[in-house]
Amino acid sequence: MTENDNEAVDGAAEIRWASRVPKRKIQQLYETDAKGIYDEDLIDDVGFGLLARCESFITAVEAHRGRAACPRCKTVIPHNWQKAARLLCEGCGWETTWGAYLETIRHKQLSGAEPVIAAMEEYMRGFGAARSPREKMILIDRLIHSHHWADEGPTRPVAVNLIAGRMGDVVEFLDRLSYGEASTPGIREMREEWRRNINAAAERWGDERLKRPTSRE
Ligand SMILES: [Zn+2]
């Protein structure tokens, strides 16, 4: 390894991706919501956690598309997917290789396409502008119950990209969240729609374990 290679590795070490939100926070959010309580600190904690995660997701997807962002100054560095190619930031001089940059993204559930990007952008705009805790709760609920889509219909649940855990765990977890008479109006219907989408995907994948019975408590 030459000295320059070492510098390149150091550059990649500055790249940070926001973590997925822990299940317990989401669980707490739905438990309080089911009691008709809006805990604004908790809503903001979860909401901003998801916001940071969406930002990371979109930045990573953009990097995959050939436009890597400098972790120091956010300047976009175009690249041609050659792993050995040097990414050099014109803004601040930060550098790494595309291979090292890519390595920071892999296995972190940071890839997807439209319309997931659109759903995340809508969430980010909406959450930034939302004033009431109820509005924020609905935005969070809609985001974590959205899906990746293919021509055939819904595929992976977006929750896998946003909430810590493997797909089966996250699906099971969302399916069992607390709801009650006092829950925010509309969120129970959202879960039913989500179950139908999960079932459509599970049907196509031939994955019986993933299927959720609908219209039940
Ligand atoms: Zn820079």
114: pLDDT strictly greater than 90:
no
At residue 216 the predicted structure's pLDDT band, cuts being 50, 70 and 90, is low
Centroid of ligand 1 to alpha carbon of 91 (angstroms): 5
Centroid of ligand 1 to alpha carbon of 72 (angstroms): 5
Report the mean per-residue pLDDT for the chain.
93
Which of 18, 74, 84 minimizes the C-alpha distance to 49? Answer: 18
210: pLDDT strictly greater than 50:
yes
Centroid of ligand 1 to alpha carbon of 84 (angstroms): 19
Centroid of ligand 1 to alpha carbon of 53 (angstroms): 21
Question: pTM for the whole thing?
Answer: 0.92
At residue 8 the predicted structure's pLDDT band, cuts being 50, 70 and 90, is very low
Centroid of ligand 1 to alpha carbon of 90 (angstroms): 7
- What pLDDT score was predicted for residue 60? 97
In the structure, ligand 1 is a single-atom ion and the residues with CB under 5 Å from it are 70, 72-73, 75, 89, 91-92, 94
Centroid of ligand 1 to alpha carbon of 95 (angstroms): 8
Centroid of ligand 1 to alpha carbon of 74 (angstroms): 6
Location of structure tokens 């995660």: 53
Location of structure tokens 């997931």: 116
- What pLDDT score was predicted for residue 160? 95
- What pLDDT score was predicted for residue 120? 97
Per DSSP, 132 falls in state S
Compute and round to an integer the Cα radius of gyration of the chain.
19
Centroid of ligand 1 to alpha carbon of 86 (angstroms): 14
- At residue 176, the 3 state secondary structure works out as coil
Mean pLDDT of 75-94: 96
Q: Is the C-alpha dihedral spanning 67, 70, 75, 78 positive or negative?
A: negative
Centroid of ligand 1 to alpha carbon of 79 (angstroms): 15
Q: What would the two tokens of residue 53 be? A: 């995660």
At residue 115 the predicted structure's pLDDT band, cuts being 50, 70 and 90, is confident
Cα separation, 68 vs 77, in Å, equals: 5
In sequence order, which ranges of the chain are alpha helices (DSSP H)? 3-12, 23-34, 40-64, 98-105, 116-129, 133-144, 159-162, 167-175, 187-205
Q: Using one digit for the tens of pLDDT, what is the confidence trace for 20-36?
A: 999 999 999 999 999 99
Mean pLDDT of 37-60: 97
Cα separation, 79 vs 68, in Å, equals: 7
Which of 94, 98, 102, 106 minimizes the C-alpha distance to 14? Answer: 94
Q: Using one digit for the tens of pLDDT, what is the confidence trace for 149-188?
A: 998 999 999 999 999 999 999 999 999 999 999 999 999 9
Q: What percent of the chain has pLDDT over 70?
A: 94
Mean pLDDT of 190-194: 95
- What pLDDT score was predicted for residue 215? 64
At residue 3 the predicted structure's pLDDT band, cuts being 50, 70 and 90, is very low
Centroid of ligand 1 to alpha carbon of 12 (angstroms): 12
Cα separation, 38 vs 161, in Å, equals: 25
Location of structure tokens 């219907």: 189
Centroid of ligand 1 to alpha carbon of 89 (angstroms): 5
Centroid of ligand 1 to alpha carbon of 18 (angstroms): 19
Centroid of ligand 1 to alpha carbon of 125 (angstroms): 25
213: pLDDT strictly greater than 60:
yes
Stated as kind and residue range, the H or E segment containing 86 is strand 86-88
